[in-house]
Amino acid sequence: MSRERSLYVCQACGASSPKWMGRCGECGAWNSLVEERPAATPKGNRGSSAYAVASPPQRLAAVPVATIRRQGTGLQELDRVLGGGIVPGAAILLGGEPGIGKSTLLLQSAAGMAQNDSVLYVTGEESAAQLALRAQRLGIGDLAIEVLAENHLESIEAQLAQQRPQVLLIDSIQTLFTENLQSAPGSVAQVRECAARLVRLAKTQDISLWMVGHVTKEGAIAGPRVLEHMVDTVLYFEGEAGSPYRIVRAIKNRFGAANELGVFEMQEKGLEEISNPSRLFLSQHQRPVPGSIVLPTQEGSRSLLVEVQALVTPSPLANPRRVALGLDPNRLSLLLAILHRHGGSFLFDQDVFVNIAGGVRVLEPAADLAVALAVLSAFRNEPVAEGLVAFGELGLAGELRPVANAESRLRESEKLGFHHAILPQGKTPPSAIRLHPARSLADAVQSAFGH
């Protein structure tokens, strides 16, 4: 009788090793290898009938392509993020911090999908009674949503074979386990195996699959990285502590634009959509203040106006602080060097703080000009011109480089009453806003401060 073989699997990255090590050789995480032993499985049994389905290869040009009806969620902001709705057979992974409202978002979208499609909600974290109580609080307790409180994968597969729903919601993937593995629910092997089998079922039976995923303290979805590669769409549900506003952002989307975002407000009776988020993220200053400027940023197909705020103060420290919230700290360091070399602003003995108001994260290079002007405005204690927006990428030589979607950015700025825009010189789109094309940082400073 052969000895049962075991592997040690890293709970951070999913790498396996035949022996235990204190540090993972792949990702470098300490004390993350856990022993896992596969259960004995009868020959030919893969645990799911879906694996037995096979189809002959087809020529790509001969594959029939029908017009696909996307399933609406009943939440227009969520539909926008998904590219207009859910494609049947798509697998969606939703991640977010504990208590951010993932289950609420899932339950409200289930209510919208239940209007036209059969929905099965599988909860491994709550009992059916607890879920029904929350549904009543949200005002959707009387809708035709089937609920299954179960975390045993084989039992869920049996229910799917019997019921054949059009939409399957799993809350959450870390609570499921299969009897083919002896490791605990939530381990890398369990998450990988359960997700793979559910995605396979979704693809072969055209079931729209939603899976909620827990996140680690670093903000990444817990489990193996391969989990994000298995699914078609990865959504992150974000929000600042103490703020009622929530943002759902598409990190990956095979059927729509990546980096698309939708904005919600968490209220007593659930999530309410914010159809015009630009007004939400702008401060209502009575007059221009130093260190503040408005940036038209592009999130997927949506242009969004956000306020860039900066504060510059003399530093008592040998190494002055550079703090960036909602912005890449390395990008801020680069912009401060450009300001020093090409803007005549010597900030080596100043603490610099930059914040994107409203808890929004802006990672595109088009924010460079707005950040630089906000820092310069705070350093000079002089506000920029009233009704001004600015965008553009700054090069290391101090030049302004063109960015995409300039027309969309200007259209959103015009809609909210702004009448001046500083942008890179080049092919400027037609706009009712007075445009100030600039070739360099020096030209932009001249336009922003008017002297």
Binding residues: 96-103
Kindly list the distances between the CA atom of residue 92 and the CA atoms of 103, 115, 207, 431, 449, in Å, as whole numbers in the listed order.
14, 20, 11, 39, 47
Given the DSSP bridges, would you call strands 292-299 and 302-314 parallel, antiparallel or unpaired?
antiparallel
Cite the annotated binding site for ATP by residue number.
96-103
In this structure, the number of other CB atoms found within 10 A of the CB of residue 341 comes to 13
- Amino acid type, 381: N
Phi, psi of 274 (to 5 degrees): -110, 105
- Torsion sign across C-alpha atoms 333, 337, 342, 344: positive
Rounded Cα gap, residues 445 and 151, in angstroms: 60
Rounded Cα gap, residues 370 and 235, in angstroms: 28
Largest CA distance in the chain: 88
Q: Which of 27, 154, 158, 171 is nearest to 93 (CA)?
A: 171
Residue 36: strand pairing partners:
7
Angle at 435 (CA atoms; ends 433, 438), nearest 5 degrees: 160
- Torsion sign across C-alpha atoms 155, 156, 157, 158: positive
